[in-house]
Amino acid sequence: MAPKPTKAEKKIAYDAKLCKLLEEYTQILVVNADNVGSNQLQNIRRGLRGDSIVLMGKNTMMKRSVRMHAESTGNNVYLSLIPLLVGNVGLIFTKGDLKEVSEEVAKYKVGAPARVGLVAPIDVVVPPGNTGLDPSQTSFFQVLNIPTKINKGTVEIITPVELIKKGDKVGSSEAALLSKLGIRPFSYGLVVLSVYDNGSVFSPEVLDLTEDDLVEKFAVGVSMVTALSLAISYPTLAAAPHMFINAYKNVLSVAIETDYSFPEADKVKEYLKDPSKFAVAAVAAPAAGTGGAPAAAAAKEEEKKEEPAEESDDDMGFSLFD
C-alpha cells in the first residue's frame, strides 16, 4: 500500500498541476461554488469532460501557485487572476467556446430547501391554493401574516404572499412553512463571476452580447465622437460630413445676405425672389418622380379610344319610326 502523501507533497503536486494548466489553457472561467455539493460538482466535471477542466482549492494556494508561475515564466498576465480569487471560488480551464461552456455549467443547478440563516438569492413567493395541511397548522400562517381559510378540512392560502425578499436571511418560521409545503425555492450551482481570456479579464455578461448589440454600441460610440468633435470643432471621420454641411449652410447664408454668389446660391436666391416657384417645384417633383397621375390619365384616354362605338339606328340604314 502506497504511503499517504504529506501536506507538503500535496501542495507541491497542486502547484505543479495548476502551473501546467496555466501553460496549456489561455481561457479560464472564475466560478463561485457556494452551496454546491460534491456529487453536483462531480456531475459538472463529467459534463465538461473533453475540453474543460474544473480545479478547486484554497484561495491562498491558488494565489501562491499563480505568483510562482508568473515569476518562473516572466509572464505577468497571470497576475490579473489573483484579485479574482476571493470567496468560495474555483477555476474552469477550457479550450472550447466560452459562451457554450458557461451555458453548460448553468445546466447543473440543483433545487435546495430554504435553510435557517441562509441569505435568499431570490424573492420567495408562496402561491395561493390548497396546502393540504390540517387546520391545526394555521399557527405557521398566522405568525407570517398569511391570509388563509379552511376549505374542506384543510388550510387554503387566499392570495399570493411574498414570504422572503432577495438578500434577507431565512427565518425559522419561513423555513418550517416552506418545508411543510414541500417548496424548494432556491437552486444552486457554479456561477460564473469573471472571464479570463489571454490576459484580459471581463464580466460574464460580455458573453451574452450578440452582433446586433455590438453594432448598436458601436453606433452609440460614433454618435458620441461626432457630437464631441462638432462641439470642439475638431475634424474627425465621423464628424466630417456634418462639418461640410454646416460650412455649406454658412457660405449659403453669406451669399444670400451679400452680392457674392455661386450656382447653388443662385437657385436659392431665385426661389426667395419668387416664392411661387416653390409651389411649382413641389407639384412637378412627384409627377416627374413617379409619373403616377399623368400616366393614369393617358392610359384612361387610350382605353376610351379603343372602345368600339355603339351602333345607332341611322347607321343600320333604317329607323324604328319609319
The CATH architecture of the domain made up of 7-109+189-207 is: 2-Layer Sandwich (3.30)
Contact 189/105 with Cβ under 8 angstroms? yes
The CA distance from 195 to 202, in Å, is 5
Q: Does residue 54 sit in helix, strand or coil?
A: strand
pLDDT at 280: 64
Range 118-184 has CATH code 3.90.105.20: yes
Question: pLDDT of the chain along its 322 residues, tens only?
Answer: 567 878 888 888 988 999 999 989 989 999 988 888 888 888 888 888 888 999 998 999 999 999 988 888 888 888 889 999 998 899 999 998 888 898 888 888 888 788 888 888 888 888 888 888 888 878 778 877 888 888 888 888 888 888 888 888 888 888 888 888 888 888 888 889 999 988 889 988 888 888 888 888 889 999 999 999 989 988 888 888 888 888 888 888 888 888 788 887 888 888 777 777 666 666 655 555 555 445 455 555 555 554 544 444 444 443 433 3
3-state helix, strand, coil in the chain (%, to 5): 50, 15, 30
pLDDT at 302: 53
What is the reported pTM?
0.60
pLDDT at 40: 86
Helix ranges, 83-210 (H): 98-106, 138-143, 172-181
Residue type, 60: T
Which of 179, 180, 182, 204 has its CA nearest to residue 194?
Answer: 204
Cβ-based burial of 31 (10 A; exposed 0-12, middle 13-18, buried ≥19): buried
Q: Which three cell numbers stand for residue 119?
A: 441569505
Cell numbers 509572464: residue: 75
Same topology, domains 7-109+189-207 and 118-184? Answer is no
Helix H or strand E segment including 32:
strand 27-32
pLDDT at 288: 52
Helix H or strand E segment including 191:
strand 191-197
> Where do the structural domains in the chain lie, given as residue ranges?
7-109+189-207, 118-184, 211-273
